Protein backbone atom coordinates (compact mmCIF):
# COMPACT_ATOMS: atom_id res chain seq x y z
CA UNK A 1 0.00 0.00 0.00
CA UNK A 2 1.25 3.40 -0.90
CA UNK A 3 1.18 5.88 1.97
CA UNK A 4 -0.26 9.34 1.62
CA UNK A 5 2.49 11.84 0.80
CA UNK A 6 2.19 15.39 2.15
CA UNK A 7 4.03 17.31 -0.56
CA UNK A 8 3.15 20.79 -1.72
CA UNK A 9 4.63 21.78 -5.07
CA UNK A 10 3.53 25.15 -6.38
CA UNK A 11 1.38 23.56 -9.06
CA UNK A 12 -0.51 21.57 -6.44
CA UNK A 13 -1.12 24.71 -4.41
CA UNK A 14 -2.55 26.40 -7.49
CA UNK A 15 -4.69 23.35 -8.26
CA UNK A 16 -6.00 23.36 -4.70
CA UNK A 17 -6.96 27.04 -4.74
CA UNK A 18 -10.23 26.47 -6.59
CA UNK A 19 -11.14 23.61 -4.23
CA UNK A 20 -10.42 25.94 -1.27
CA UNK A 21 -12.78 28.50 -2.78
CA UNK A 22 -15.45 25.81 -3.10
CA UNK A 23 -14.97 24.79 0.54
CA UNK A 24 -15.23 28.44 1.57
CA UNK A 25 -18.50 28.87 -0.32
CA UNK A 26 -19.96 25.76 1.35
CA UNK A 27 -18.86 27.07 4.76
CA UNK A 28 -20.56 30.42 4.11
CA UNK A 29 -23.73 28.65 3.01
CA UNK A 30 -23.79 26.82 6.35
CA UNK A 31 -23.46 30.02 8.36
CA UNK A 32 -19.69 30.32 8.88
CA UNK A 33 -19.05 33.41 6.78
CA UNK A 34 -18.25 35.32 9.97
CA UNK A 35 -15.11 33.13 10.33
CA UNK A 36 -13.63 34.31 7.03
CA UNK A 37 -14.57 37.91 7.81
CA UNK A 38 -13.02 37.82 11.28
CA UNK A 39 -9.75 36.22 10.16
CA UNK A 40 -9.30 38.27 6.96
CA UNK A 41 -9.76 35.34 4.57
CA UNK A 42 -12.27 37.03 2.27
CA UNK A 43 -9.96 36.53 -0.70
CA UNK A 44 -11.01 32.87 -0.73
CA UNK A 45 -14.63 33.81 -1.42
CA UNK A 46 -15.47 35.41 -4.78
CA UNK A 47 -18.27 38.01 -4.85
CA UNK A 48 -18.26 38.33 -1.07
CA UNK A 49 -21.29 39.90 0.57
CA UNK A 50 -21.23 40.96 4.24
CA UNK A 51 -22.81 38.42 6.56
CA UNK A 52 -23.67 38.21 10.23
CA UNK A 53 -20.60 38.03 12.49
CA UNK A 54 -22.45 35.94 15.07
CA UNK A 55 -21.86 32.23 15.54
CA UNK A 56 -24.75 30.24 14.02
CA UNK A 57 -27.10 28.52 16.41
CA UNK A 58 -26.70 24.73 16.66
CA UNK A 59 -23.12 25.06 15.41
CA UNK A 60 -22.45 21.33 15.84
CA UNK A 61 -25.24 20.42 13.42
CA UNK A 62 -24.06 23.04 10.90
CA UNK A 63 -20.47 21.73 11.05
CA UNK A 64 -21.65 18.13 10.59
CA UNK A 65 -23.83 19.04 7.60
CA UNK A 66 -20.99 21.09 6.08
CA UNK A 67 -18.49 18.22 6.33
CA UNK A 68 -21.08 15.82 4.93
CA UNK A 69 -21.57 18.06 1.89
CA UNK A 70 -17.82 18.47 1.31
CA UNK A 71 -17.32 14.76 0.72
CA UNK A 72 -15.83 11.50 2.06
CA UNK A 73 -12.41 12.77 3.20
CA UNK A 74 -14.00 15.58 5.18
CA UNK A 75 -16.44 13.10 6.72
CA UNK A 76 -13.42 11.06 7.83
CA UNK A 77 -11.79 14.22 9.19
CA UNK A 78 -14.96 14.97 11.15
CA UNK A 79 -14.86 11.45 12.55
CA UNK A 80 -11.31 12.09 13.75
CA UNK A 81 -12.39 15.38 15.36
CA UNK A 82 -15.11 13.47 17.19
CA UNK A 83 -12.31 11.54 18.95
CA UNK A 84 -10.65 14.75 20.18
CA UNK A 85 -12.84 16.12 22.99
CA UNK A 86 -9.69 17.73 24.40
CA UNK A 87 -9.79 20.30 21.59
CA UNK A 88 -13.38 20.14 20.29
CA UNK A 89 -16.29 21.42 22.43
CA UNK A 90 -18.72 18.73 23.67
CA UNK A 91 -21.72 20.00 21.66
CA UNK A 92 -19.74 19.65 18.42
CA UNK A 93 -18.38 16.20 19.38
CA UNK A 94 -21.93 14.93 19.93
CA UNK A 95 -22.84 15.91 16.37
CA UNK A 96 -19.62 14.69 14.73
CA UNK A 97 -20.03 11.15 16.12
CA UNK A 98 -23.13 10.91 13.93
CA UNK A 99 -21.10 11.24 10.73
CA UNK A 100 -21.25 8.04 8.68
CA UNK A 101 -19.59 7.03 5.42
CA UNK A 102 -22.23 6.62 2.73
CA UNK A 103 -21.06 7.09 -0.87
CA UNK A 104 -22.02 5.69 -4.25
CA UNK A 105 -20.49 2.28 -5.09
CA UNK A 106 -17.83 1.97 -7.77
CA UNK A 107 -18.18 -0.19 -10.87
CA UNK A 108 -17.89 -3.97 -10.56
CA UNK A 109 -15.18 -4.05 -13.24
CA UNK A 110 -12.93 -2.13 -10.83
CA UNK A 111 -13.58 -4.77 -8.16
CA UNK A 112 -12.48 -7.45 -10.63
CA UNK A 113 -9.37 -5.40 -11.47
CA UNK A 114 -8.29 -5.00 -7.83
CA UNK A 115 -8.82 -8.72 -7.09
CA UNK A 116 -6.88 -9.72 -10.21
CA UNK A 117 -3.97 -7.40 -9.32
CA UNK A 118 -3.74 -8.34 -5.62
CA UNK A 119 -4.67 -12.04 -5.58
CA UNK A 120 -3.36 -12.98 -9.02
CA UNK A 121 -6.71 -14.64 -9.77
CA UNK A 122 -9.88 -13.63 -11.53
CA UNK A 123 -13.09 -13.48 -9.52
CA UNK A 124 -14.35 -16.59 -11.34
CA UNK A 125 -11.28 -18.63 -10.30
CA UNK A 126 -10.97 -17.24 -6.76
CA UNK A 127 -14.61 -17.52 -5.71
CA UNK A 128 -17.42 -19.96 -6.27
CA UNK A 129 -19.82 -17.00 -6.49
CA UNK A 130 -19.49 -13.25 -6.06
CA UNK A 131 -22.41 -10.76 -5.83
CA UNK A 132 -21.91 -7.77 -8.10
CA UNK A 133 -24.18 -5.58 -5.95
CA UNK A 134 -22.28 -4.39 -2.85
CA UNK A 135 -23.72 -4.81 0.66
CA UNK A 136 -22.28 -1.43 1.70
CA UNK A 137 -20.13 1.31 0.22
CA UNK A 138 -17.86 3.81 1.98
CA UNK A 139 -15.18 6.35 1.13
CA UNK A 140 -12.30 3.87 1.25
CA UNK A 141 -13.93 0.68 -0.06
CA UNK A 142 -17.06 -1.40 -0.42
CA UNK A 143 -18.22 -4.80 0.79
CA UNK A 144 -19.51 -7.67 -1.38
CA UNK A 145 -21.08 -10.99 -0.47
CA UNK A 146 -19.36 -14.08 -1.93
CA UNK A 147 -18.79 -17.82 -1.53
CA UNK A 148 -15.40 -19.52 -1.39
CA UNK A 149 -14.73 -22.83 -3.16
CA UNK A 150 -16.56 -25.35 -1.00
CA UNK A 151 -19.52 -23.04 -0.35
CA UNK A 152 -18.29 -21.05 2.71
CA UNK A 153 -20.14 -17.73 2.88
CA UNK A 154 -17.83 -14.70 3.15
CA UNK A 155 -17.82 -10.94 2.79
CA UNK A 156 -15.08 -9.31 0.71
CA UNK A 157 -14.05 -5.72 1.38
CA UNK A 158 -12.40 -4.18 -1.68
CA UNK A 159 -10.58 -0.86 -1.53
CA UNK A 160 -11.15 1.80 -4.16
CA UNK A 161 -8.00 1.76 -6.37
CA UNK A 162 -7.75 5.55 -6.28
CA UNK A 163 -8.59 5.89 -2.56
CA UNK A 164 -5.02 6.68 -1.43
CA UNK A 165 -4.54 9.23 -4.22
CA UNK A 166 -7.84 11.04 -3.67
CA UNK A 167 -7.49 11.11 0.09
CA UNK A 168 -3.90 12.28 -0.30
CA UNK A 169 -5.03 15.21 -2.44
CA UNK A 170 -7.66 16.23 0.10
CA UNK A 171 -5.15 15.97 2.95
CA UNK A 172 -2.75 18.23 1.03
CA UNK A 173 -5.61 20.70 0.75
CA UNK A 174 -6.43 20.42 4.46
CA UNK A 175 -2.77 20.90 5.33
CA UNK A 176 -2.51 23.95 3.10
CA UNK A 177 -5.62 25.42 4.73
CA UNK A 178 -4.22 24.61 8.20
CA UNK A 179 -0.96 26.39 7.36
CA UNK A 180 -2.98 29.39 6.22
CA UNK A 181 -4.82 29.54 9.57
CA UNK A 182 -1.95 28.49 11.85
CA UNK A 183 -0.83 32.02 12.79
CA UNK A 184 -4.30 33.55 12.74
CA UNK A 185 -6.09 31.47 15.38
CA UNK A 186 -5.40 31.28 19.10
CA UNK A 187 -6.95 27.89 19.82
CA UNK A 188 -4.37 26.20 22.06
CA UNK A 189 -3.28 23.50 19.59
CA UNK A 190 -1.65 23.17 16.18
CA UNK A 191 -3.99 22.77 13.22
CA UNK A 192 -1.10 21.46 11.12
CA UNK A 193 -0.34 18.72 13.67
CA UNK A 194 -4.05 17.82 13.78
CA UNK A 195 -4.10 17.31 9.99
CA UNK A 196 -0.91 15.25 10.20
CA UNK A 197 -2.55 13.08 12.88
CA UNK A 198 -5.49 12.60 10.52
CA UNK A 199 -3.08 11.52 7.78
CA UNK A 200 -1.54 8.91 10.09
CA UNK A 201 -4.97 7.65 11.18
CA UNK A 202 -6.39 7.26 7.70
CA UNK A 203 -3.15 5.64 6.48
CA UNK A 204 -3.83 2.87 9.00
CA UNK A 205 -7.41 2.50 7.73
CA UNK A 206 -6.09 2.16 4.18
CA UNK A 207 -4.06 -0.91 5.19
CA UNK A 208 -6.39 -3.93 5.27
CA UNK A 209 -3.53 -6.17 6.45
CA UNK A 210 -3.52 -4.18 9.70
CA UNK A 211 -7.29 -4.59 10.00
CA UNK A 212 -6.89 -8.35 9.53
CA UNK A 213 -4.39 -8.42 12.41
CA UNK A 214 -6.84 -6.50 14.58
CA UNK A 215 -9.58 -9.02 13.80
CA UNK A 216 -7.27 -11.92 14.67
CA UNK A 217 -6.47 -10.33 18.03
CA UNK A 218 -10.16 -9.80 18.84
CA UNK A 219 -10.83 -13.42 17.90
CA UNK A 220 -8.16 -14.60 20.36
CA UNK A 221 -9.45 -12.30 23.12
CA UNK A 222 -13.04 -13.61 22.86
CA UNK A 223 -12.22 -17.25 22.11
CA UNK A 224 -13.71 -18.30 25.46
CA UNK A 225 -16.82 -16.09 25.26
CA UNK A 226 -19.84 -17.70 23.58
CA UNK A 227 -21.80 -14.42 23.65
CA UNK A 228 -19.39 -12.63 21.27
CA UNK A 229 -18.51 -13.88 17.82
CA UNK A 230 -15.64 -12.58 15.68
CA UNK A 231 -15.74 -13.54 11.98
CA UNK A 232 -13.02 -15.92 10.79
CA UNK A 233 -10.29 -14.60 8.49
CA UNK A 234 -9.25 -16.17 5.18
CA UNK A 235 -5.70 -14.90 4.76
CA UNK A 236 -5.27 -16.53 1.33
CA UNK A 237 -7.86 -14.03 0.09
CA UNK A 238 -6.48 -10.97 1.89
CA UNK A 239 -4.08 -8.21 0.86
CA UNK A 240 -3.48 -4.55 1.64
CA UNK A 241 -6.56 -3.71 -0.51
CA UNK A 242 -8.71 -6.84 -0.02
CA UNK A 243 -10.11 -8.30 3.20
CA UNK A 244 -12.06 -11.57 3.16
CA UNK A 245 -13.88 -12.67 6.30
CA UNK A 246 -16.60 -15.10 7.30
CA UNK A 247 -20.11 -13.75 6.77
CA UNK A 248 -22.08 -13.53 10.01
CA UNK A 249 -25.80 -13.87 9.34
CA UNK A 250 -28.15 -11.65 11.30
CA UNK A 251 -29.55 -8.13 11.48
CA UNK A 252 -27.27 -5.27 12.48
CA UNK A 253 -28.47 -2.97 15.25
CA UNK A 254 -29.64 -0.33 12.77
CA UNK A 255 -32.17 -2.81 11.36
CA UNK A 256 -35.79 -1.87 12.29
CA UNK A 257 -36.32 -5.49 13.40
CA UNK A 258 -34.08 -4.89 16.44
CA UNK A 259 -36.36 -2.28 17.98
CA UNK A 260 -39.31 -4.63 17.36
CA UNK A 261 -37.82 -7.22 19.73
CA UNK A 262 -39.45 -7.70 23.16
CA UNK A 263 -38.17 -5.31 25.82
CA UNK A 264 -36.64 -8.09 27.92
CA UNK A 265 -34.71 -9.42 24.92
CA UNK A 266 -33.41 -5.91 24.16
CA UNK A 267 -32.26 -5.64 27.80
CA UNK A 268 -30.21 -8.84 27.49
CA UNK A 269 -28.75 -7.59 24.19
CA UNK A 270 -27.77 -4.22 25.73
CA UNK A 271 -26.11 -6.00 28.67
CA UNK A 272 -24.14 -8.27 26.33
CA UNK A 273 -22.89 -5.28 24.32
CA UNK A 274 -21.94 -3.34 27.46
CA UNK A 275 -20.14 -6.32 28.98
CA UNK A 276 -18.29 -6.89 25.70
CA UNK A 277 -16.88 -3.34 25.65
CA UNK A 278 -16.15 -3.16 29.38
CA UNK A 279 -14.18 -6.38 28.99
CA UNK A 280 -12.23 -4.84 26.10
CA UNK A 281 -11.52 -1.64 28.05
CA UNK A 282 -10.84 -3.02 31.53
CA UNK A 283 -9.48 -6.49 30.79
CA UNK A 284 -8.00 -6.77 27.31
CA UNK A 285 -6.81 -3.19 26.78
CA UNK A 286 -7.68 -3.62 23.07
CA UNK A 287 -10.88 -1.80 22.16
CA UNK A 288 -13.08 -1.72 19.07
CA UNK A 289 -13.21 2.07 18.62
CA UNK A 290 -16.16 2.25 16.20
CA UNK A 291 -19.14 0.49 17.85
CA UNK A 292 -21.88 2.14 15.81
CA UNK A 293 -25.01 0.05 15.10
CA UNK A 294 -23.95 -1.12 11.62
CA UNK A 295 -20.88 -2.83 13.11
CA UNK A 296 -22.79 -5.00 15.62
CA UNK A 297 -24.81 -8.04 14.46
CA UNK A 298 -27.52 -9.63 16.62
CA UNK A 299 -27.27 -13.43 16.57
CA UNK A 300 -30.20 -14.15 18.88
CA UNK A 301 -30.38 -15.26 22.53
CA UNK A 302 -28.33 -12.24 23.66
CA UNK A 303 -25.36 -13.08 21.42
CA UNK A 304 -23.61 -10.56 19.15
CA UNK A 305 -21.09 -10.50 16.31
CA UNK A 306 -18.61 -7.68 15.67
CA UNK A 307 -17.69 -6.21 12.28
CA UNK A 308 -15.18 -3.68 10.91
CA UNK A 309 -11.91 -3.71 12.86
CA UNK A 310 -10.18 -0.78 11.14
CA UNK A 311 -10.38 1.55 14.17
CA UNK A 312 -9.03 0.31 17.49
CA UNK A 313 -7.76 1.87 20.71
CA UNK A 314 -4.83 0.11 22.35
CA UNK A 315 -4.27 0.49 26.11
CA UNK A 316 -0.98 -0.67 27.60
CA UNK A 317 -0.77 -2.85 30.72
CA UNK A 318 0.56 0.23 32.52
CA UNK A 319 -2.55 2.16 31.46
CA UNK A 320 -4.90 -0.44 32.96
CA UNK A 321 -2.87 -0.64 36.17
CA UNK A 322 -2.63 3.14 36.54
CA UNK A 323 -6.29 3.52 35.61
CA UNK A 324 -7.21 1.17 38.44
CA UNK A 325 -5.07 3.20 40.85
CA UNK A 326 -6.86 6.32 39.61
CA UNK A 327 -10.26 4.79 40.45
CA UNK A 328 -9.08 3.81 43.93
CA UNK A 329 -7.52 7.22 44.59
CA UNK A 330 -10.75 8.90 43.54
CA UNK A 331 -12.59 6.73 46.04
CA UNK A 332 -10.13 7.74 48.78
CA UNK A 333 -10.27 11.48 47.94
CA UNK A 334 -6.51 11.35 47.36
CA UNK A 335 -6.00 14.55 45.33
CA UNK A 336 -2.16 14.30 45.08
CA UNK A 337 -2.52 10.63 44.10
CA UNK A 338 -5.11 11.50 41.44
CA UNK A 339 -2.70 14.08 39.98
CA UNK A 340 0.13 11.52 39.93
CA UNK A 341 -2.09 8.99 38.15
CA UNK A 342 -3.21 11.54 35.56
CA UNK A 343 0.41 12.44 34.82
CA UNK A 344 1.43 8.81 34.50
CA UNK A 345 -1.47 8.28 32.08
CA UNK A 346 0.05 10.97 29.86
CA UNK A 347 -1.73 14.16 30.92
CA UNK A 348 0.72 17.05 31.36
CA UNK A 349 0.34 20.60 32.65
CA UNK A 350 2.58 23.51 33.55
CA UNK A 351 3.34 24.08 37.26
CA UNK A 352 1.75 27.54 36.94
CA UNK A 353 -1.71 25.95 36.52
CA UNK A 354 -1.26 23.30 39.19
CA UNK A 355 -3.68 25.03 41.56
CA UNK A 356 -6.31 25.22 38.81
CA UNK A 357 -5.85 21.50 38.12
CA UNK A 358 -6.33 20.71 41.83
CA UNK A 359 -9.52 22.76 41.96
CA UNK A 360 -10.84 21.16 38.77
CA UNK A 361 -10.16 17.66 40.17
CA UNK A 362 -12.06 18.48 43.34
CA UNK A 363 -15.00 19.88 41.34
CA UNK A 364 -15.07 16.97 38.87
CA UNK A 365 -14.54 13.95 41.14
CA UNK A 366 -16.06 15.02 44.47
CA UNK A 367 -19.20 12.97 43.74
CA UNK A 368 -17.12 9.76 43.91
CA UNK A 369 -15.20 10.55 47.10
CA UNK A 370 -15.82 7.85 49.69
CA UNK A 371 -17.96 5.50 47.54
CA UNK A 372 -17.18 1.85 46.82
CA UNK A 373 -15.31 0.93 43.65
CA UNK A 374 -18.26 -1.32 42.69
CA UNK A 375 -20.48 1.75 42.58
CA UNK A 376 -18.29 3.68 40.15
CA UNK A 377 -19.74 4.31 36.71
CA UNK A 378 -16.60 3.83 34.60
CA UNK A 379 -18.28 5.45 31.61
CA UNK A 380 -19.15 8.64 33.54
CA UNK A 381 -15.74 8.78 35.24
CA UNK A 382 -14.01 8.59 31.86
CA UNK A 383 -16.19 11.47 30.63
CA UNK A 384 -15.20 13.45 33.73
CA UNK A 385 -11.51 12.98 32.94
CA UNK A 386 -12.04 14.11 29.33
CA UNK A 387 -14.07 17.14 30.45
CA UNK A 388 -11.24 18.02 32.85
CA UNK A 389 -8.78 17.87 29.95
CA UNK A 390 -10.99 20.10 27.81
CA UNK A 391 -11.76 22.66 30.52
CA UNK A 392 -8.05 23.19 31.24
CA UNK A 393 -6.97 23.01 27.57
CA UNK A 394 -4.62 20.12 28.32
CA UNK A 395 -3.46 17.38 25.95
CA UNK A 396 -4.09 13.67 26.36
CA UNK A 397 -2.63 10.73 24.37
CA UNK A 398 -4.80 9.87 21.37
CA UNK A 399 -5.44 6.31 22.59
CA UNK A 400 -7.61 7.70 25.40
CA UNK A 401 -9.42 10.09 23.09
CA UNK A 402 -10.39 7.28 20.70
CA UNK A 403 -11.53 5.34 23.76
CA UNK A 404 -13.80 8.20 24.86
CA UNK A 405 -15.33 8.37 21.39
CA UNK A 406 -16.01 4.63 21.51
CA UNK A 407 -17.67 4.91 24.92
CA UNK A 408 -19.74 7.89 23.78
CA UNK A 409 -20.97 5.95 20.71
CA UNK A 410 -21.61 2.81 22.76
CA UNK A 411 -23.62 4.79 25.31
CA UNK A 412 -26.03 5.91 22.59
CA UNK A 413 -26.37 2.35 21.25
CA UNK A 414 -27.22 0.65 24.55
CA UNK A 415 -29.48 3.48 25.78
CA UNK A 416 -31.50 3.18 22.58
CA UNK A 417 -31.92 -0.55 23.15
CA UNK A 418 -32.75 -0.35 26.85
CA UNK A 419 -32.71 3.10 28.52
CA UNK A 420 -32.83 1.67 32.07
CA UNK A 421 -29.72 -0.51 31.75
CA UNK A 422 -27.61 -0.74 34.94
CA UNK A 423 -24.08 -0.03 33.74
CA UNK A 424 -22.84 0.19 37.36
CA UNK A 425 -23.49 -3.51 37.86
CA UNK A 426 -21.90 -4.56 34.57
CA UNK A 427 -18.77 -2.46 35.08
CA UNK A 428 -18.49 -3.74 38.66
CA UNK A 429 -17.66 -7.24 37.39
CA UNK A 430 -14.44 -5.90 35.87
CA UNK A 431 -13.46 -3.13 38.30
CA UNK A 432 -13.38 -5.74 41.05
CA UNK A 433 -10.99 -7.85 38.96
CA UNK A 434 -8.77 -4.82 38.37
CA UNK A 435 -8.64 -4.01 42.07
CA UNK A 436 -7.64 -7.59 42.90
CA UNK A 437 -5.05 -7.49 40.11
CA UNK A 438 -3.04 -4.85 41.99
CA UNK A 439 -2.41 -7.28 44.87
CA UNK A 440 -2.55 -10.59 42.99
CA UNK A 441 0.68 -12.44 43.93
CA UNK A 442 0.77 -14.07 40.51
CA UNK A 443 1.25 -10.69 38.87
CA UNK A 444 4.03 -9.49 41.19
CA UNK A 445 6.90 -11.17 39.24
CA UNK A 446 5.68 -9.64 35.96
CA UNK A 447 5.35 -6.22 37.56
CA UNK A 448 8.81 -6.47 39.16
CA UNK A 449 10.30 -7.55 35.85
CA UNK A 450 8.75 -4.54 34.12
CA UNK A 451 9.95 -2.13 36.78
CA UNK A 452 13.45 -3.66 36.71
CA UNK A 453 13.62 -3.24 32.94
CA UNK A 454 12.52 0.39 33.19
CA UNK A 455 15.07 1.22 35.91
CA UNK A 456 17.80 -0.64 34.03
CA UNK A 457 17.03 1.45 30.95
CA UNK A 458 17.16 4.66 32.99
CA UNK A 459 20.47 3.79 34.69
CA UNK A 460 22.02 2.61 31.42
CA UNK A 461 21.31 6.04 29.90
CA UNK A 462 22.72 8.06 32.82
CA UNK A 463 26.42 7.76 31.81
CA UNK A 464 25.61 8.86 28.26
CA UNK A 465 23.53 11.81 29.51
CA UNK A 466 26.34 12.90 31.88
CA UNK A 467 28.84 12.55 29.04
CA UNK A 468 26.67 14.76 26.78
CA UNK A 469 26.37 17.42 29.51
CA UNK A 470 30.14 17.45 30.09
CA UNK A 471 30.76 17.80 26.35
CA UNK A 472 28.38 20.74 26.15
CA UNK A 473 30.09 22.37 29.15
CA UNK A 474 33.47 21.89 27.52
CA UNK A 475 32.25 23.37 24.21
CA UNK A 476 30.43 26.24 25.91
CA UNK A 477 27.08 25.20 24.45
CA UNK A 478 25.07 24.91 27.67
CA UNK A 479 22.04 27.20 27.65
CA UNK A 480 20.14 28.24 30.77
CA UNK A 481 16.51 29.26 30.27
CA UNK A 482 14.92 31.50 32.89
CA UNK A 483 11.15 31.75 33.19
CA UNK A 484 9.91 34.57 35.41
CA UNK A 485 6.45 35.16 36.87
CA UNK A 486 5.12 38.26 38.60
CA UNK A 487 7.84 40.58 37.22
CA UNK A 488 5.69 42.19 34.53
CA UNK A 489 5.11 45.37 36.58
CA UNK A 490 8.83 45.85 37.27
CA UNK A 491 9.69 45.27 33.61
CA UNK A 492 7.09 47.84 32.58
CA UNK A 493 8.55 50.44 34.98
CA UNK A 494 12.05 49.76 33.66
CA UNK A 495 10.77 50.24 30.12
CA UNK A 496 9.20 53.59 31.10
CA UNK A 497 12.41 54.76 32.82
CA UNK A 498 14.56 53.70 29.86
CA UNK A 499 12.24 55.48 27.42
CA UNK A 500 12.34 58.69 29.47
CA UNK A 501 16.14 58.58 29.65
CA UNK A 502 16.29 58.15 25.87
CA UNK A 503 13.90 61.10 25.33
CA UNK A 504 15.97 63.26 27.73
CA UNK A 505 19.21 62.38 25.93
CA UNK A 506 17.64 63.09 22.52
CA UNK A 507 16.31 66.44 23.82
CA UNK A 508 19.72 67.40 25.21
CA UNK A 509 21.47 66.37 21.98
CA UNK A 510 19.05 68.41 19.85
CA UNK A 511 19.41 71.45 22.16
CA UNK A 512 23.20 71.32 22.21
CA UNK A 513 23.41 70.76 18.46
CA UNK A 514 20.92 73.57 17.74
CA UNK A 515 22.75 76.02 20.00
CA UNK A 516 26.12 75.12 18.45
CA UNK A 517 24.77 75.70 14.97
CA UNK A 518 23.11 79.01 15.97
CA UNK A 519 26.32 80.38 17.53
CA UNK A 520 28.97 79.11 15.12
CA UNK A 521 27.32 79.57 11.70
CA UNK A 522 28.04 83.09 10.35
CA UNK A 523 26.39 82.92 6.93
CA UNK A 524 22.69 82.95 6.15
CA UNK A 525 19.83 84.65 7.97
CA UNK A 526 20.55 85.93 11.49
CA UNK A 527 18.29 86.91 14.44
CA UNK A 528 19.94 88.69 17.38
CA UNK A 529 23.32 87.50 16.19
CA UNK A 530 22.21 83.82 16.07
CA UNK A 531 21.89 81.74 12.88
CA UNK A 532 18.35 80.67 12.02
CA UNK A 533 19.70 77.23 11.00
CA UNK A 534 20.00 76.32 14.68
CA UNK A 535 16.38 77.23 15.54
CA UNK A 536 14.77 73.86 14.45
CA UNK A 537 17.04 71.90 16.80
CA UNK A 538 16.27 74.25 19.70
CA UNK A 539 12.51 74.04 19.03
CA UNK A 540 12.62 70.21 18.84
CA UNK A 541 14.60 70.09 22.08
CA UNK A 542 12.03 72.36 23.72
CA UNK A 543 9.09 70.20 22.55
CA UNK A 544 10.69 66.96 23.79
CA UNK A 545 11.64 68.59 27.09
CA UNK A 546 8.14 69.96 27.72
CA UNK A 547 6.55 66.60 26.77
CA UNK A 548 8.90 64.74 29.14
CA UNK A 549 8.18 67.11 32.06
CA UNK A 550 4.42 66.84 31.39
CA UNK A 551 4.59 63.01 31.38
CA UNK A 552 6.48 62.96 34.67
CA UNK A 553 4.05 65.36 36.33
CA UNK A 554 1.06 63.38 35.02
CA UNK A 555 2.43 60.11 36.44
CA UNK A 556 2.52 61.67 39.91
CA UNK A 557 6.15 60.65 40.41
CA UNK A 558 7.84 64.07 40.18
Instruction: Please tell me the distance from the alpha carbon of residue 530 to that of residue 143, in angstroms, as a whole number.
Output: 99
Sign of CA dihedral 449, 453, 456, 458: negative
Strand partners, 348: 395
Best CA proximity match to 253, nearest among 293, 207, 217, 292: 293
The helix (H) or strand (E) run that includes residue 306 is: strand 303-306
Instruction: Please tell me the distance from the alpha carbon of residue 349 to that of residue 357, in angstroms, as a whole number.
Output: 8
Active-site annotation holds for 290:
yes
Instruction: Please tell me the distance from the alpha carbon of residue 376 to that of residue 330, in angstroms, as a whole number.
Output: 10
The active-site residue out of 86, 170, 290, 319 is 290
Task: Specify the pairing of strand 303-306 against strand 312-314.
Answer: unpaired
Residues 108-141 as b or e (16 or more Cβ within 10 Å = b): beebbebbeebbeeebeebbeebeeebebbbbbb
Q: Long-range contacts for 230-239 (Cβ within 8 Å, ≥24 apart)?
A: 230/305, 230/306, 231/155, 231/305, 231/306, 231/307, 234/148, 234/152, 234/154, 237/119, 237/126, 237/148, 237/154, 237/156, 238/208, 238/209, 238/212, 239/118, 239/119, 239/208, 239/209
Instruction: Please tell me the distance from the alpha carbon of residue 173 to that of residue 259, in angstroms, as a whole number.
Output: 42
3-state secondary structure of 154: strand
Backbone angles phi, psi at 262, to 5 degrees: -60, 150
* DSSP letter string, 209-273: HHHHHHHHHHHHHTTT-TTEE-PPB-GGG--SSEEEEEPPPS-BTTSHHHHTS-HHHHHHHHHHH
Q: How many Å from the N-terminal Cα to the C-terminal Cα in the chain?
A: 76
Instruction: Please tell me the distance from the alpha carbon of residue 300 to that of residue 533, in angstroms, as a whole number.
Output: 104
Instruction: Please tell me the distance from the alpha carbon of residue 196 to that of residue 176, in angstroms, as a whole number.
Output: 11
Q: Which residues are catalytic?
A: 290
Amino acid sequence: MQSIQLLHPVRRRLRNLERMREISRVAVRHGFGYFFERHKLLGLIPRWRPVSTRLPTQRGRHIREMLDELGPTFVKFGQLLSTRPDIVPPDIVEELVRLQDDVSPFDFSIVDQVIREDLGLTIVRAFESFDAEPLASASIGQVHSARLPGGRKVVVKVQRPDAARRIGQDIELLLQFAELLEGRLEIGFSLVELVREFARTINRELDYVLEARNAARFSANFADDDSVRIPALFTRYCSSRILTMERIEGPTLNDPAIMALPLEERKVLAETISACWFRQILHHGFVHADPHPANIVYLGEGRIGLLDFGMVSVLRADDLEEGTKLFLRVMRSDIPGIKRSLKRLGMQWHPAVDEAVTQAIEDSFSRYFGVSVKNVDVRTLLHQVIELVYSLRLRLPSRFLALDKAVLTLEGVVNRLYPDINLFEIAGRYTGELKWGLVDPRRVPTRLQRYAAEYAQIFSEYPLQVYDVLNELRDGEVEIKFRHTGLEGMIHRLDVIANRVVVALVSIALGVTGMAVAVTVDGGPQVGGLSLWGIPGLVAALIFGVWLIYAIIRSGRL
